[in-house]
Structure 1
Amino acid sequence: MPETDDTYDNSEIHPDCKPSEYLIDLFCFNGRPFNKDPDHKVTVLINHGYVVGFSSFRKQPLWAAYRVADADHHVDYDRPQLFYDDERLSAGDRIDPRPFGKIPDPDPNAGGRQVPLNRGHLVPNEAINQQFGRLAQMETFFMSNMSPQYARMNQGIWANLEARILNDYAPAMDHVWVLVGPIFGDNPPVVTRSGSGVQIPVPESYYCILFDPIRYPYGRMSNVEVLALTIPQSAGREQLSQRHITSIDAIERATQLDFLTRLPNRAEARAEALMADDIWAPTPRRRRTALEIEPDQ
């Protein structure tokens, strides 16, 4: 099937996840991402609180999708202490749960400095813990949900974004859908596992796409606000700002992924070309007291 065909998707649902395939749309807004790379397949793994598209070529997810909502009460279990290989993956794709270590800083002015790497959650422990409970939380510690993130970025701007989504956006906006994933440079540095020799490329940056339905019918893209972000690994502990805003189109070009795959082509093209005017402020976009139960139409 040619790449120009809009239905082309070089992905497959993992056989163990087939019985749970019906859950995908609960986490992926208007369709799961399609993989447009004809040379490298993506395997879709479905968990209790999120979905990822895992790349055997990159040894990490190319996309991860989850959803947060406002809640009157939530659970709050302690953070698990261990990481786990995902036994659903073939032996060659299990990168083992050890830390990623360090790589040489790619900054030409670094003077031989090393960059510490974290096992960076693409779908965050805390959000899934509070929204879906203990088992779902523990599944976020599968290595199939990890990407090698610069420690300062993981603990800085990325952690702040995750907290903003859970603690500010969800209460203010009722429901927020999230898509995140890595963006690779042309010649990414790699982490090499001793013993197996498995190499894990280190991304250059990460994307995050947020969907906030603000009016009924909520699935219509004209009633949905979108914030698409690209955050470089070098961002460290800086604050989110206008310079991180991008479009879905730009992320698709950088990743060879196709988002909003359940939309008609024209509506998809319009939504993907838009750029938000600013970083969302954590203020209510809807008046819950005025939001009455609406009939299905």
Structure 2
Amino acid sequence: MASKRGKMKHFRPVLLLAAGVAVYIGGPVGYYFLPWSVRRPIYKTAPKLDRALRLRGFKTVEGWDGLGLWGRDCRTALEGRSGGEHVYGGNPSQGLKLFDRVTVLKNESYIVGYSDSMQNPLWVAYRVFDVPSLDSGKRPSSFRIDQRTEAKVPSTAFRGSGYDRGHMAPNHAIATRYGVDGQRETFLMSNVVPQTPRINRYIWKDLEARVSRRYGRYFSEVWVVTGPVFSEPVDRLDSGVAIPSGYYKILVDESGDALRVLAFLVESDCPPYTRIKSRLVSVDELEESTGLDFFPRLSESVQAEIEVQPAGRLWPWLVPAIRYSVHP
């Protein structure tokens, strides 16, 4: 009996430590998933505590999602190499849902499908790849009119509107792959859409960082096509720039002998602390929302495999053994 008590006494610090870790991690995670009706009294009486617990729980869940330990990839057999310098599977085909003409603007570091009537890029395509350094250097201080467009949206078009000038080809991803000249290209107004600060500075920024700092670093090449989504009736800034109702991003990777895709839709009213994984959708859904046809140069059979179903997980990037595996 005494020996059993001695063993329990020996393991007690370990058990207490394990319990403490469980509470430290599990408490905020549990709080993160509480419905607003339960959280509301805490938020009203202790808003800083509410935000701190939500943020800690959110970061824990986001980190777990990022491991991609379960869920299926949206993938199919690779029929042939279809990736270009910036675009995978051909430029998105012009749609007629909300705009009448798309002008393709070619830059050294990315390509834009621009609508003068909407005064927005409808799609922007670029490619990321591994680089020795992720130092993007000094950020340019101002945006510039793109003289190739008819709209010639000025950098002051968003002033006083409450909207950020949201990059579609991101400053960091392009600067680290194409240098200063490429970085300057991202500050053309043809690469910018209205985004609320809540979107631009949080979930969209996190998604861009995941692509640039993780996927672009740990996989050989990742092609990206991204842009705004509009819903009727379309609201506009006082300057005439159309305001999106959401934003999409499609990632393509050739992993071994397979082609895989991630597609995201982030609504403009997306609440704070929204998990990136929860924004996964199918390419078909994005085509319905945007009126665009993505990957027009891929065969119908390949498109059917990668466009109908959404991915069930984010791409694993931390553990090499599971990066390309498929989990049921």
TM score, norm. by length of structure 1: 0.76
Verify the 8 A CA contact 2:145 2:153 in the aligned structure 1: yes
- Equivalent residue, structure 1, for 2:302: 267
Verify the 8 A CA contact 1:99 1:119 in the aligned structure 2: no
Verify the 8 A CA contact 2:207 2:276 in the aligned structure 1: no
State which drifts further: 66-75 or 182-191.
66-75
Between 1 and 2, higher relative CO (CA 8 Å, sep ≥ 6) is seen in 2
Verify the 8 A CA contact 2:146 2:188 in the aligned structure 1: yes
Give 1:101 shift.
3.8
- Equivalent residue, structure 1, for 2:89: 30
- Equivalent residue, structure 2, for 1:96: 154
1:176 aligns with 2:217: no
Map of 1:134-149 to 2, 5 A cutoff? 134-149=180-195
For the residues of structure 2 that align with 1:165 and 1:184, how far apart are their CA atoms? 24
Give 1:229 shift.
0.5
1:256 aligns with 2:291: yes
Map of 1:110-129 to 2, 5 A cutoff? 116-129=162-175
Equivalent residue for 1:209, pick from 240, 246, 250: 250
Give 1:287 shift.
9.5
For the residues of structure 1 that align with 2:86 and 2:248, how far apart are their CA atoms? 17
SS in 2 for 1:80: coil
Verify the 8 A CA contact 2:131 2:176 in the aligned structure 1: no
Verify the 8 A CA contact 1:34 1:257 in the aligned structure 2: yes
Equivalent residue for 1:188, pick from 220, 223, 234: 234
Q: How many residue pairs were aligned?
A: 240
For the residues of structure 1 that align with 2:298 and 2:155, how far apart are their CA atoms? 38
Gaps of 5+ in 2: 1-82, 324-328
- Equivalent residue, structure 2, for 1:59: 119
For the residues of structure 1 that align with 2:113 and 2:195, how far apart are their CA atoms? 18
TM score, norm. by length of structure 2: 0.69
Instruction: Quote the RMSD (CA, aligned, Å).
Output: 2.1
Q: 1:286 to 1:147 in 2, by over 3 A?
A: farther
Report the AA paired with residue 162 of structure 1.
Answer: E
- Equivalent residue, structure 2, for 1:292: none
SS in 1 for 2:237: strand
Q: 1:59 to 1:275 in 2, by over 3 A?
A: same
State which drifts further: 257-266 or 79-88.
257-266
* Aligned-pair identity (%): 33
Which of the pair is proportionally richer in helix?
2
Report the AA paired with residue 40 of structure 1.
Answer: D
Q: 1:130 to 1:36 in 2, by over 3 A?
A: same
SS in 1 for 2:312: coil
For the residues of structure 1 that align with 2:160 and 2:301, how far apart are their CA atoms? 45
Report the AA paired with residue 267 of structure 1.
Answer: V
Which of the pair is proportionally richer in strand?
1
Q: 1:76 to 1:284 in 2, by over 3 A?
A: same
SS in 2 for 1:26: coil
Gaps of 5+ in 1: 1-23, 104-115, 194-198, 217-222, 289-297
Verify the 8 A CA contact 1:36 1:257 in the aligned structure 2: yes
- Equivalent residue, structure 2, for 1:5: none
For the residues of structure 1 that align with 2:276 and 2:134, how far apart are their CA atoms? 30
- Equivalent residue, structure 2, for 1:227: 262
- Equivalent residue, structure 1, for 2:110: 50
For the residues of structure 1 that align with 2:181 and 2:135, how far apart are their CA atoms? 12
SS in 2 for 1:126: helix
What do the CA deviations read for 1:60-91 (whole angstroms, capped 9, x no partner)? 1000011111122455320000100001122x
Q: 1:210 to 1:284 in 2, by over 3 A?
A: farther
SS in 2 for 1:37: coil
Bigger Rg over Cα: 2
Give 1:176 shift.
1.0
Give 1:202 shift.
0.6
For the residues of structure 2 that align with 1:101 and 1:285, how far apart are their CA atoms? 46
SS in 2 for 1:266: helix
Give 1:286 shift.
7.3
SS in 2 for 1:191: coil
Give 1:42 shift.
0.2
- Equivalent residue, structure 2, for 1:219: none
